[in-house]
Amino acid sequence: MNGLIEFSRKLGRLFVDDGTLAIALIGWCLAAGLLLPAFAPHSVWSAPLFSLGCLLILIANVTCSAAQHKK
């Protein structure tokens, strides 16, 4: 049983290197999928807002990672 758990962890790490980045992006995708159509249906700004959110999450994650490695 322990071998199966360890295998699952290693398989997960193969696809997800930074868990906080993955969780933040999944959260943003869910929020954007639910909120953007309600507030801006058929708007030309939906795609740029979605992309900007992803970019801001990436910048925040890189900044936090750089600050942690600087210590």
> Residue 17: its pLDDT value, please?
73
Q: Is residue 8 part of a domain?
A: no
Q: Is residue 6 part of a domain?
A: no
Q: Is residue 1 part of a domain?
A: no
Q: Is residue 23 part of a domain?
A: yes
Q: Is residue 4 part of a domain?
A: no
Nearest CA to 69 among 13, 18, 25?
18
Nearest CA to 53 among 70, 36, 68?
36
Domain extent for 41: 17-70
Q: Tell me the pTM.
A: 0.75
Average pLDDT, the chain: 87
Cα dihedral 33, 34, 38, 42 in deg (nearest 10): 10
Nearest CA to 41 among 30, 33, 52?
33
Are residues 60 and 27 in contact, defined by beta-carbon separation less than 8 angstroms?
A: no
> Residue 14: its pLDDT value, please?
76
